[in-house]
Amino acid sequence: MAETASSVDLVICREITSVGSCTFDELVHRLPIYSWAQVFSAVDRLSRQGTLSVSRIRGADYVVNHRAGSSHS
């Protein structure tokens, strides 16, 4: 399971680095091979590690950004 977690983490980091930032829903849409729950879990884990930042923008919308100075990519 750890291998799967690290692969989804890497894919998310590469995607966010590529696009700069996007909403959580856009990120899920960009990664159709992963379930909503897998993306949510990875974004949660990466934000707790300081790799990503997640900010509420309106209602239930959240934007995901790559945190400056983070070494995970």
In this predicted model, what pLDDT tens digit does every residue of 41-68 receive, in sequence order? Answer: 999 999 999 999 999 998 889 999 988 7
Query: Does the residue 6 lie in any domain?
Result: yes
**pLDDT confidence of residue 1:** 43
Query: Does the residue 53 lie in any domain?
Result: yes
Which residues is 56 bridged to in the sheet? Answer: 62
Mean pLDDT (the chain) is 89
| Contact status, residue 50 vs residue 69, Cβ threshold 8 Å | no
Distance between CA atoms of residues 62 and 29, nearest Å: 14
Distance between CA atoms of residues 1 and 21, nearest Å: 27
CATH number at residue 23: 1.10.10.10
Question: What is the span of the domain harbouring residue 48?
Answer: 2-66
Say how many domains are in the chain: 1
* Mean pLDDT for the stretch of residues 14-36: 96
| Contact status, residue 33 vs residue 45, Cβ threshold 8 Å | no
Query: Does the residue 71 lie in any domain?
Result: no
